[in-house]
Structure 1
Amino acid sequence: MDMSFWVGSIGASQAQRKLDVVSNNLANVNNNGFKPKNAVFAELVNYNLNAGRDETTELQAGAGAIVSATNTDFRSAALTQTNRLLDYAIMTDNQFFQVRDQATGAITLTRDGHFHAGQMQDGRFVLMTDSDKFVLNTQGQLTYLDVTDGADEGRLAEGQQIGIYTVPFPSRLQNVGDDDFRVREGDNNNPITLVELPTVVTGALEQSGTDIAKEFTNMIEAQRAFSYNLRMVQTSDEVAQTINGLR
């Protein structure tokens, strides 16, 4: 296969991957606590030269670029005042609420602080996420509430405090959907630890971290890259047809 044809085809496919990342960021522009991603490109020749002799790499024809990673931006975003007692916003980067799935017991981390009161079988109320996961307190246990009969929400019970947690390497967290993240299996060097003095605002929610202007710029760049790479493929095909016609 002609080298230019390969470079153009792989460039178009990777530009499409960047467009997928941008579209996901824009689709979550109104989701509380959403953290946008960005596509990181790597040049295939350098990727191959830096690899070990016996390592299997993604190099196919010696040139081109690929999306090597999609990094998540865990920086804090702006706040929206809601005045709800059970809305919470974390003011510090790389800190999270810790939640537990009712069915599986899986522990995940989230920045979305839009919570509600959920009633247990024993009649007590606990703090829960929109997806009905338990919000854990500073002891890693359920967070109990005092709820007045007929009220839509309540207050933290006496002695209860929502736990705010962090990890040493947020970039290594795995996105598991619903704006939730978890520590990758086997990553023992990235433990979840309690933040002793967190900064949390009650009656507010953290907005989506998506920067619309930035994402539209990225979309234009990806669209142009896609178009230019397809033009390279088309030109390579025309050259090949011309050469074959001369034979």
Structure 2
Amino acid sequence: MMPPLAIVLAGRSNTAKRSDILTRVARKFGERGQPVFVFESPRHAASEGINRRLEQALPGIARSTGQALSWPRLAAWYAVKTALACASPHRLDFLMAALLPPWLIASWELQRFIESLPHARVVVVTHSAGGVAATRIAAHPHVQAIASFGYPFRHPERRREAYRTRHLRAVVKPMVVIQGRGDAYGGDPAQFGRFLGPTCSIVSLECDHEYHGLDDGAFARAWEAIDHVHDLACQKESQAPRLDCATSVSGQTC
């Protein structure tokens, strides 16, 4: 028997906002003994560590004071932070982040994370910007399937940005987009469905981009869709009939 697929959770780019929906998904996979890994950008973690050091060492210019900084203090903040970033083991990551678009860096970091795992087969479950990163690396051999909550097809306050959608039709692995009808980043399948590839299905729920307070019935629909793409990934890998992997619904894993 092949080892179970690992689950990788890739959340929002704004880490100040929690992805409670991914926590619920992680709990379901954990209940049946499936390995779950949460992606966190090492560069972002290092940056937060530098911020904390600055707030402790230089409280006079720290952003945690909640006050607008004068330009000399702001310049001092960035100068010291840049020096610490250059001394960090992640200095190459900081340099690349300064030169390349955020969405490209996010995809690259997610791919490195997946390649570092002890599992060679993963299903990526995402929320918001995590969906952009995951779909951009969908062709990677480790990625078997993708489930995306609240895919950000468009930013409600910006013009259309091609990097969000131009690659989606090339995704040929099992995929599901679970979208709230009230999602400001795209909630109408008639509008965003044209961007998706032939192997992608859509589940519409009565919620917004946050998924807060999603009732048990709606979550059950989402979970069924995620479990379905998981089973399709199992079927594709093993070349066995779908019934062999459908046992995962009862708590077993393929």
Confirm or deny a common fold (TM above 0.5). Answer: no
TM-score, normalised on structure 1?
0.20
Higher relative contact order (CA 8 A, sep 6+): 1
TM-score, normalised on structure 2?
0.20
More helix by share: 2
More strand by share: 1
